[in-house]
Amino acid sequence: MKYIRWCIRGQVVLNKVKMCVISNLLYVLAYLSTTPACTQTTQGVTDCIAALKKYNLTKAETVQIINIMPASEVDVHLVVEECAERLDTDACLDLAAEVNQLLYNGPPLSAEDNAASSDQMMMDTSESTTTTTTTSTAQLSET
């Protein structure tokens, strides 16, 4: 009888965990749909990882490059630590071009497009923060 109760409780806990995972997955997918990553395919990411190996990047830098999809040399310098010592100018430009070719399934991104996307994300974040602050202030006023 104790085993049956434990199994039932275990199933309830497992179902709650599954719901939390699904909920978090939906939040991540909603966020990614607002970034350049929304155009990526599994095959494109796999090809990009293979192509980035020649630049001797760390795993963290590779993940950031895949997520951010740098469009210019400046964007590459923001992601790669000590980029000036590790990569020359041509390598930075080649890296950005290669990433865009492998990952982006649309018209080529320019630095301005990437900046506009970043600005939009910053505005969305600030609007969210403002809403949260307003709600918190209203709750404090009520008490």
The pair of structure tokens assigned to 14 is: 């497992």
Instruction: Give yes or no for a contact between 102 and 66, defined as CB atoms under 8 angstroms apart.
Output: no
Residue 95's pLDDT band, with cuts at 50, 70 and 90, is very high
Looking at residue 35, what DSSP letter applies?
A: S
Instruction: Give yes or no for a contact between 91 and 55, defined as CB atoms under 8 angstroms apart.
Output: yes
Quote the Cα angle for 69-40-107, to 5°.
Answer: 70
pLDDT tens, residue by residue, 106-140: 555 455 555 555 455 445 544 444 444 344 444 44
Looking at residue 109, what DSSP letter applies?
A: P
Residue 34's pLDDT band, with cuts at 50, 70 and 90, is confident
Residue 11's pLDDT band, with cuts at 50, 70 and 90, is low
Task: Quote the CA–CA distance of 74 and 62 in Å, as a whole number.
Answer: 16
